[in-house]
Amino acid sequence: MPKKLTDTQIQTLKEAIDGWNATDGPLTWDALREFIKARFKTSYTRQGLDKIEGIKIAFTVRKAALRRMTAAGETASTELGRALERINRLEAERDRLSAENSALLEQFVVWTYNASTRGLDEKFLSRPLPPIDRGATPGEPSAFNRKARSRAKAAS
């Protein structure tokens, strides 16, 4: 059973999809699986990759961009070709990020609705997170608690 992809690996895959050119061959799930096999030395199913929202969005957006590019045609100049490849990669990244942003906004709307049906208001939802107590040893007060106690003693 393959390991779960890490956030770093998912980001690497999204960047690889953004940079996919017609010269790399057609962008297909099988081609992406081969890339993963070569890069991460493991294999994943198409369905497994399709379940990862960031990869699915990047794949869909880049596939549509490659179709548009194929219809536009090729260039003869190598410098112009490299510049166009960079432009296309950056446009693909922008389109992917825009699609991811839209998905996050949709999720936020769902969370907002669900919070409002539970009677949670904006003030409650905007409370700051509690401080993180790092390095606490069991049975020994943490650095945070020691500071708070010393301030309380000084104030009294």
Question: What is the arithmetic mean of pLDDT over 68-82?
Answer: 66
Give the whole-number percent of the chain exceeding pLDDT 70.
79
- CA gap 30, 27 in Å, rounded: 8
- The answer on pLDDT for 152 being more than 80 is no
**Residue length of the chain:** 156
- CA gap 130, 143 in Å, rounded: 15
- The answer on pLDDT for 122 being more than 90 is no
Pure H helices in 73-138: 78-117, 122-125
Q: What is the mean pLDDT of the chain?
A: 82
Where are the chain's structural domains? 7-99
- The answer on pLDDT for 123 being more than 80 is yes
Environment class of 155 (CB within 10 Å of its CB; exposed 0-12, middle 13-18, buried 19+): exposed
